[in-house]
Each structure stands twice: as structure tokens, then as C-alpha cells.
């Protein structure tokens, strides 16, 4: 019987799925090379080991790619680094939320906060938005199940937000009289 390295075959299949995502993401100006996909696969293994997780079947990376490819804060120049960071944050918070939240719910929540509250700041996403939400999930909150993880953060947000329109109006008054 032939000795087959199943882990290598699985990794190659995952790299292929990431490469196939290019067909969709190129319309957003985002394309990964084969080398990028291999780097992401290696970073995935590192993150899984660091977080003491095992991922069976399909990798979460294609889900991250499809969820975040239209982000206003991700461009070709920061695409690979952004995907690495998003993978790290994803697995950290799957653990922090005790796997109570589905992958899709967590991705939706992450994307919504990344775009609207964090304005592309990974540290704020990880250290504030997800931390606060994870505390609620660990305490028994399950309202995200009916919304798919969307529109959930406002009820937990502890930071008073500034009004963008008021800010722009003030700028116009100060500089464009």
C-alpha cells in the first residue's frame, strides 16, 4: 500500500481553494500569488498550534477572504498581512467565545466592526470590540444567533462614538468658509 501524506494533500487542497478565490477577489483589486497562499497556509498552521486548535476539513481562510475582500481598509499592498492577522484574530476569539459562536457569525461580527467601529484598526477589533463581545458570549448572551452576528455590538459598546457628519460639518466651517 502506498504511503500517502494526507496532511500534505489537505494543505494542497486548501491552497487551491485560496487560489480559486482570486477569481472573485480580483474585481476588488486583490490577488494572491501561489507563494502568498503557501505563506498563509504556514501562518494558519502556526496560529492553530499557538491557539491549540485543530481545523478539520476546509480551512476558514476562504471564508475570511470572501467576507473581507470588499473591505474599504484592505488593499493589495496590505492584503496578505491583513489575512494573516484576521486568521489570528479569528482563532483567538473562537477560543475566547468557547466555540459557542459559529464561524459565519464570528466572521460577520468581525467584518461589521472592522468596517464601522474600528475603521480598519486590527488592534481595536481584537482588543476592544471582540473582547467585549466575547465577555458577553461567555456570560451567556446568544442574541447573535437570530441576527447571524450582525448588528450586535451597539448594545455592548462602552465607548461614546463621535458623529461623522458633525465632524465633517465642523471641518467645512473651519477650513472652507
Q: In which element (H, E) is residue 84 found?
A: helix 79-96
Buried b (16+ CB within 10 A) or exposed e, 149-159: beebbeeeeee
Q: In which element (H, E) is residue 167 found?
A: helix 164-175
Q: Show Cβ contacts of residue 146 under 8 Å, excluding neighbours closer than 6 positions.
A: none
Q: What is the pTM of this model?
A: 0.82
pLDDT per residue rounded down to tens, the chain (177 residues) = 455 575 666 667 688 888 899 999 999 999 999 999 999 988 888 877 787 877 666 788 999 999 999 999 999 999 999 999 999 999 999 989 998 999 999 999 999 999 999 999 999 999 999 999 999 999 999 988 888 888 888 777 776 666 677 777 877 888 875
C-alpha cell at 125: 477589533
Amino acid at each position: 500500500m502506498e504511503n500517502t501524506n494526507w496532511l500534505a494533500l489537505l494543505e494542497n487542497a486548501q491552497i487551491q481553494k485560496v487560489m480559486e478565490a482570486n477569481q472573485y477577489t480580483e474585481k476588488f483589486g486583490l490577488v494572491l500569488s501561489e507563494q502568498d497562499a503557501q505563506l498563509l497556509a504556514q501562518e494558519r498552521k502556526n496560529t492553530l498550534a499557538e491557539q491549540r486548535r485543530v481545523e478539520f476539513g476546509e480551512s476558514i481562510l476562504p471564508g475570511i477572504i470572501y467576507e473581507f475582500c470588499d473591505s474599504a481598509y484592505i488593499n493589495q499592498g496590505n492584503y496578505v498581512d491583513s489575512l494573516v492577522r484576521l486568521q489570528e484574530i479569528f482563532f483567538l476569539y473562537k477560543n475566547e467565545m468557547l466555540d459557542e459562536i459559529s464561524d459565519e457569525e464570528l466572521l460577520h461580527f468581525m467584518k461589521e466592526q472592522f468596517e464601522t467601529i474600528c475603521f480598519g484598526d486590527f488592534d481595536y477589533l481584537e482588543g476592544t470590540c471582540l473582547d467585549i463581545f466575547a465577555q458577553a458570549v461567555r456570560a451567556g448572551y446568544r442574541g447573535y444567533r437570530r441576527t447571524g452576528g450582525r448588528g450586535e455590538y451597539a448594545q455592548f459598546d462602552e465607548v461614546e462614538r463621535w458623529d461623522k457628519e458633525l465632524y465633517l460639518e465642523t471641518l467645512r466651517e473651519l477650513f472652507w468658509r
